[in-house]
Amino acid sequence: MRWFDAGVNLLDRRFEPQAVVESALAAGVSKMCVITTQPDEWQPAMNVAAAYPENLVFTVGIHPHNAKLATPDDFIRLGDALQHAQAVAVGECGLDFNRNFSPPDVQRDVFEQQLRIAVAANKPVYLHERDAFADQARILSAYRAQLTGGIAHCFTGTKTQLEAYLAMGLHIGITGWLCDDKRNASLLEAIEALPADKLILETDAPYLFPKNKRPRARNNEPAYLPSIADKLSEVTNIPSETLSKTSYANTCRLFGITD
């Protein structure tokens, strides 16, 4: 089986990128999308992707936590970085009102600027949202007709929220959150409404280690993506092989990759 991990924080200081990528490839995870969250990560993402042109793609964006640090020049650089052959989406972008590391009004402004860049570049958006669904949905709806799709990264919300994202044409990213039986109840209900052609699998490594995997490792890795599929197979009665083919094809389509 082939797998595509649609979200890995490969630049996290806990990772040695080459070792993580090689481990993933050995596990059948042949493609990975490297998430960026701030301008300082854009060039390193280009560098690591260049070392694995057949396996890695990356996003270019400013996470809501970092919105307060964004400068006008950053948005120019963001647009330029999207011209890279392996840059596939704008993000991680969105709203996070859980801790408000950046003021909400600044988050909204930086989010909208990135949406406008995504429209201009004809790229999908890679979305983050926490405790801000109403505002995020309202802002997205204004750009819905112009956007080239996107993904609700690491979706953990309700069935109603999932259906709202689907109505906007978005894909839904499923992570190891699904494997945590102490907090996955809402997600289990939500995925009942998830059509096969909108399913994306991702690890969000090194976070969200899939708790159905044994033995437990210190950090999550792309190599553990099949464990998320195993849990999804268990709760949907869809074979893991089918989930592999479907999610791989969906991710390639979302990111505009010919494979």
* CATH code, domain carrying 146: 3.20.20.140
For 38-62, what is the mean pLDDT?
A: 98
pLDDT tens for each residue of 79-90: 999 999 999 999
**Percent of the chain whose predicted confidence (pLDDT) is above 90:** 97
Judge if the upstream peptide bond of residue 206 is cis by omega within 30 degrees of 0.
yes
Of residues 159, 132, 154, 149, the one with CA closest to residue 197: 149
Check pLDDT > 90 for residue 97: yes
Residue 104 clears pLDDT 80, i.e. is over it: yes
| Separation of alpha carbons 179 and 198, rounded Å | 20
Q: Is the pTM of this model over 0.95?
A: yes
For residue 33, pLDDT over 90 is answered with yes
Mean pLDDT of 144-166: 97
CA–CA distance, 86 with 52 (Å, rounded to integer) = 10
For residues 244-259, average pLDDT: 96
Domain that holds residue 28: 3-255
Residue 209 banded pLDDT, cuts 50, 70, 90: very high
Residue 259 has pLDDT above 90, yes or no: no
**By the 8 A CB rule, do 214 and 207 touch?**
no
Question: Is a pLDDT exceeding 90 seen at residue 121?
Answer: yes
Edge to edge, what strands does the sheet with 3-8 contain?
Answer: 3-8, 29-34, 56-60, 87-96, 125-130, 150-152, 171-174, 199-201
3-state percent breakdown (helix, strand, coil) of the chain, nearest 5 = 50, 15, 35
Reference 155, options 135, 133, 138; nearest CA is 133
Residue 153 reports pLDDT greater than 80: yes
Contact of 6 with 202, CB cutoff 8 Å: yes
Whole-number pLDDT of residue 148? 93
Residue 64 reports pLDDT greater than 90:
yes
**Does a cis peptide bond (omega within 30 degrees of 0) precede residue 241?**
no
Q: What is the pLDDT of residues 129-142, one digit of tens each?
A: 999 999 999 999 99
Q: Is the pLDDT of residue 59 over 90?
A: yes
Structural domain count of the chain: 1
Neighbours of 51 (CB within 10 A): 11
Total H helices, total E strands in the chain:
9, 8
* Predicted pLDDT at 71: 97
Confidence check: pLDDT of 188 > 90: yes
CA distances from 64 to 52, 108, 110, 168, 256 (A): 28, 8, 8, 21, 25
Residue 202, pLDDT above cutoff 80: yes
Average pLDDT over residues 200-212: 97
> Beta partners for 207?
none
Residues linked to residue 21 through DSSP beta bridges, in sequence order: none
Average pLDDT score over residue span 154-179 = 97
